[in-house]
């Protein structure tokens, strides 16, 4: 048996940095002053509906964030939208009119889980790999083609790989559009970061 | 019988149960044909290839199409809760399934109702649900990668997407994460951890660590964790004990990777092709390192 050796530190090969979630905030809001009582959560059937609703509400300029649900309503692969409770009626109306009604809307009473906000970037020479949470996306630096997708455990990961690998970074379907789970959401974040890394 | 439960990335793929074979690198199950790519098909391909060396040909699939909406997973869950108690299965492997705690618990009840409890191995989405349900100790082996190990070590996170930053931090060494996962009751009897160093561990101590040979590009390749789970599943189903199977699988997966001369663009089928050669070599010389 091999000797037990410490797990090699990725320092030096990886760059590790915080994901800026400010892109979710269209308004300059005084989040720090907002108490939990000011906030509500929108619960949807699945993550793909959350992503659609997130994109819709962001396009309307709403100040929203995506977070993990409180323990009482966790089922296993969940994401909720946090919104200012005072805007409940108008947000509900807009979502319903756009065909994206949530299945539940409740005030925030418990601490919410924060998505992983760390990226790792690893340079393999001709290839660049970006990791967001448990998902990794690798691109050929010379051609811009996606060559591999790895990590994750939800059933849309093999599907996303099937649809994206072999296509150009800018032409492949976006995981945020065709993914349905938290792994799909993480891959969307990796894809966004890869675009920043690769495109001028 | 080795039974593999998982999903196929095709929404139209029906609920399909049966013995599986590999013909021209395509998985055959009843009238269905599945290309070997990452995910459960990669696990199956690896298990069948390892089975060729081990004389194991009784590999059955419980498969359904699922692209992330959970429809196929729920069909499988529903079928299994009804059928498992009557089935005779030696090794039961759960893989890419929609994480759902309620269904997970129903499956576990069905397993407990079986005449003889099979060896239980879980990876991917079903491992996430097993951890979140608080029932991880009911399993004989989990096969996480290092990121998933951090998730197991985080007693709060319901999914790797929510693993807290201080646990993910690079200063946390794998043995620390293993300790933390066991301390919180979120690990199976054995863990086979895939990473720069592969670890086989139980609650008491790290049983084996495998750091050679190295094919660095495997980190970027989709499906290399699935092949590891497939190899260890076949070894366990062939009668090898879990820790030995874990170490043998880790060595075989690494050696198959080296034989494939991979780049980050290599697809997992290239590694699966090399499994019989790699496993034969590892079984001849169990402590091969380079």
CATH 3.30.70 residue ranges in chain A? 21-107
Among the residue ranges A1-10, A165-174, B86-95, B119-128, the one predicted with the least confidence is A1-10
State ipTM: 0.92
Q: In whole angstroms, what is the distance from residue B229 CA to residue B275 CA?
A: 13
* Selected residues 38-97 of chain B with any CB under 8 Å from a CB in chain A: 38-41, 66-70, 72-73, 96-97
Tell me which H or E stretch contains B224.
helix B224-237
pLDDT at A14 over 70: no
What pLDDT score does A19 carry?
43
pLDDT single digits (tens) A52-75: 899 899 999 998 988 888 877 777
Please say whether the beta carbons of B102 and B129 come within 8 A: no
Q: Sign of the C-alpha dihedral, residues B277, B278, B279, B280?
A: positive
- The answer to whether B98 contacts A76, with C-beta atoms less than 8 Å apart, is yes
- What is the token pair recorded at B249? 């699988």
Cα angle B141-B145-B149, degrees, rounded to a multiple of 5: 75
In order of their start, the domains of chain B are: 2-284 (3.40.1190.20)
pLDDT in tens, B252-284: 999 999 999 999 999 999 999 999 999 999 999
List the beta bridge partners of residue B2. Answer: B59, B91
The model's pTM: 0.88
Whether the CB of B288 is below 8 Å from some CB of chain A: the reply is: no
What is the distance of C-alpha B204 from the center of its chain?
A: 22
Give the mean model confidence (pLDDT) for residues A90-104. 93
A21-107: in CATH 3.40.140: no
Confidence of residue A200 (pLDDT cuts 50, 70, 90): low
* B229 lies within 8 A of chain A by CB: no
Minimal CA separation from A51 to chain B, in Å? 13
| CA angle, residues B178, B198, A193, in degrees to nearest 5 | 85
Contact A8 B196 (CB under 8 A): yes
Positive or negative CA dihedral for A121, A124, A126, A132? Answer: negative
Name the A residues in 171-190 with CB < 8 Å from any B CB.
179-186
Peptide bond into B213 cis (omega under 30): yes
**Ordered DSSP codes for B141-184:** EE--BHHHHHHHH-SS-SSGGG--HHHHSTTS-HHHHHHHHHHT
Listed residue (A79, A83, A93) closest to A26, CA to CA: A83
Please report which helix (H) or strand (E) contains residue A9, including its range.
Answer: none
* Alpha-carbon distance A138 to nearest alpha carbon in chain B (angstroms): 6
Contact B67, B247 (CB under 8 A): no
* B-chain residues near A153 (CB < 8 A): 96, 99, 123-128, 148, 160
Q: Does A115 contact B at CB distance below 8 Å? A: yes
């Amino acid at each position: 048996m091999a000797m037990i050796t410490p797990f090699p530190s990725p320092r030096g090969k990886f760059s590790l940095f915080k994901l800026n979630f400010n892109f979710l905030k269209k308004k300059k809001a005084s989040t720090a002053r907002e108490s939990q009582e000011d906030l509500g959560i929108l619960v949807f059937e699945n993550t793909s509906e959350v992503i659609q609703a997130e994109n819709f509400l962001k396009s309307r300029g709403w100040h929203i964030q995506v977070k993990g649900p409180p323990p009482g309503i966790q089922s296993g692969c969940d994401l909720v939208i946090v919104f200012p409770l005072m805007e409940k009626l108008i947000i509900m109306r807009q979502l319903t009119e756009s065909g994206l009604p949530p299945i539940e809307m409740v005030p925030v009473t418990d601490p919410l889980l924060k998505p992983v906000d760390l990226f790792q970037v690893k340079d393999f020479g001709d290839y660049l790999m970006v990791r967001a949470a448990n998902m990794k996306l690798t691109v050929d630096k010379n051609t811009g083609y996606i060559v591999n997708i790895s990590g994750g455990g939800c059933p849309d990961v093999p599907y996303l790989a099937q649809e994206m690998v072999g296509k150009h970074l800018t032409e492949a379907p976006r995981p945020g559009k065709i993914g349905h789970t938290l792994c799909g959401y993480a891959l969307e974040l990796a894809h966004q970061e890869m675009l920043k890394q690769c495109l001028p | 019988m080795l039974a593999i439960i998982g999903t196929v990335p095709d929404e139209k793929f029906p609920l399909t149960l049966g013995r599986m074979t590999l013909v021209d690198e395509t998985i055959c199950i009843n009238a269905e044909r599945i290309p070997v790519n990452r995910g459960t098909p990669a696990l199956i391909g690896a298990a069948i290839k390892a089975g060729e060396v081990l004389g194991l040909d009784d590999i059955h699939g419980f498969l359904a199409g699922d692209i992330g909406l959970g429809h196929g997973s729920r069909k499988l869950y529903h079928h299994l809760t009804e059928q498992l108690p009557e089935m005779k299965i030696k090794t039961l492997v759960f893989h890419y399934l929609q994480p759902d705690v309620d269904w997970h618990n129903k499956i576990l009840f069905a397993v407990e109702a079986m005449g003889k409890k099979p060896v239980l191995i879980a990876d991917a989405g079903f491992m996430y649900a097993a951890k979140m349900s608080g029932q991880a100790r009911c399993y004989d082996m989990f096969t996480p990668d290092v990121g998933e190990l951090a998730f197991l070590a985080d007693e709060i996170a319901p999914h790797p997407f929510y693993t807290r930053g201080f646990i993910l931090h690079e200063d946390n060494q794998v043995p620390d994460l293993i300790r933390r996962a066991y301390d919180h009751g979120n690990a199976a009897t054995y863990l086979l951890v895939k990473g720069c160093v592969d670890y086989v561990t139980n609650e008491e101590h790290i049983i084996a660590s495998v750091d050679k040979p190295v094919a660095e590009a495997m980190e970027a390749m989709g499906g290399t964790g699935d092949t590891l789970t497939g190899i260890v599943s076949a070894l366990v189903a062939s009668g090898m004990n879990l820790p030995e199977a874990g170490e043998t699988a880790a060595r075989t997966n690494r050696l198959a990777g080296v034989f494939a001369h991979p780049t980050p663009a290599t697809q997992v089928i290239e590694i699966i092709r090399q499994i019989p050669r790699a496993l034969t070599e590892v079984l001849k010389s169990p402590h091969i390192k380079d």
